[in-house]
Structure formats: C-alpha cells, structure tokens
Amino acid sequence: MSRCAHICMMAEYNQWMNARVYAAAAGLAPGELQRERGAFFGSLLATLNHIMVGDTLWLQRYAKHPAKFPLLDPVRAITPPASLTQPLFDDFAAMQAHRRWLDQVIIDWAAAITESDLDHLLDYRNSRGENRRQFFALLMHFFNHQTHHRGQATTLLSQAGVDVGDTDLLVCIPNHS
C-alpha cells in the first residue's frame, strides 16, 4: 500500500469512527455529554471538542504546505481556536454536523495529496514554538491523535453504558484472501 493510499484509508477510518462515536453520544440522556467522568478532558463533550480543535489546528498548519491544498480553504478561513480546550460549539447537533463536514473535507483533501507532497518539511508553530517536521510523519500524528482521543471517548461511552462496537482499524483494511 502506498503512503497516499494509507492516508486515504486513515481518513476513511476517521470518518467511520467519528460517525459511530457521535451517533452513540447523541443517544445519551440529557446532561450525560457534559458529565464529569474523570477523563483527561473531563467529559465526553470536552473530549470530542478537543479532537475537533486538534483537527482544525493541524489542518490549518497543513494548509501552509507549498502545495497550498485548495481543498483546505474552508478550514483555512476558520478562526483558529485559542487553546486546545476552547469550546467550539454550544449545541451538540451543530458540533455533530461540523464533525461530518470536517471529516468529508479530510477525505477529499487526503485524496488530493501526492507522494511528492509527503517528503516536504513543514514549518509550523505550536504552543512550544517553531517546528520543522516531515509532512508524512505529521499526518501520521494527526490520525494517531484522533484515534488516541476517540479511544478515550469510547471508554467514556462504555462507562455510560453505551457499546460503540468494533473500533479496530482492521475493519477498514482490505482483506485479500
């Protein structure tokens, strides 16, 4: 599998898992999304919000790649979150709709990335200062960050009595038998 094909698979996995997690979260009783559960970000809502903040910040950094990635123009236009915990939405339905939109942007953009784009060293700034890292490695971090925090979200859902079902990437890897 090429690196570009791997990125596309990860984008599809991201969309699939987010749809499952958000559907499960939407079925919770009122107040359960915001309920403090002792997780790193406290609540399920705050955890899902953090994933979206991270995705937004990373996509805005990726939009500075020399390839320009016009498919990231709508994300480029979003005011960057001021912190990793800044609440982006007051309404869960609006948050869920934005998540669906953002996941489609990620899928469309992933399909437009070329192998030659992946070896570029991307300059970006985060809370720790200036950085220069290989674009492909940063993309792997992007998808790993989502998976890591979705794992926390599925644990919080499990604690609330909701089974999200199979969450393995293996489900998205083609079986050639």
Each residue's pLDDT tens digit, 25-66: 999 998 999 999 999 999 999 999 999 999 999 999 999 999
Amino acid letter for position 3:
R
Residue 106, domain CATH: 1.20.120.450
Instruction: Give me the residue label for tokens 């309920």.
Output: 35
Read off the pLDDT of each residue in 110-129 and give the average, rounded to a whole number.
95
Domain that holds residue 102: 3-172
The phi, psi pair for 173, rounded to 5°, reads -85, 125
Q: Is 177 within a domain?
A: no
pLDDT at 50: 98
3-state secondary structure of 134: strand
Q: Is 80 within a domain?
A: yes
Tell me: pLDDT of 16 over 90. yes
Mean pLDDT, the chain, rounded, equals 96
CB 111 within 8 A of CB 8: yes
How far apart (Å, rounded) are the C-alpha atoms in residues 88 and 76? 16
The domain total for the chain is: 1
pLDDT at 100: 98
- Cβ-in-10-Å burial (0-12, 13-18, 19+) of 73 comes to exposed
pLDDT at 17: 98
pTM reported for the whole predicted model: 0.95
The phi, psi pair for 111, rounded to 5°, reads -70, -20
Q: Is 148 within a domain?
A: yes
Q: Is 11 within a domain?
A: yes
How far apart (Å, rounded) are the C-alpha atoms in residues 132 and 135? 9
The phi, psi pair for 32, rounded to 5°, reads -70, -30
- Local confidence band at 98 (pLDDT 50, 70, 90 cut-offs): very high
Q: Is 113 within a domain?
A: yes
Read off the pLDDT of each residue in 20-27 and give the average, rounded to a whole number.
97
Q: Is 46 within a domain?
A: yes
pLDDT at 30: 86
Tell me: pLDDT of 133 over 90. yes
- Local confidence band at 127 (pLDDT 50, 70, 90 cut-offs): confident
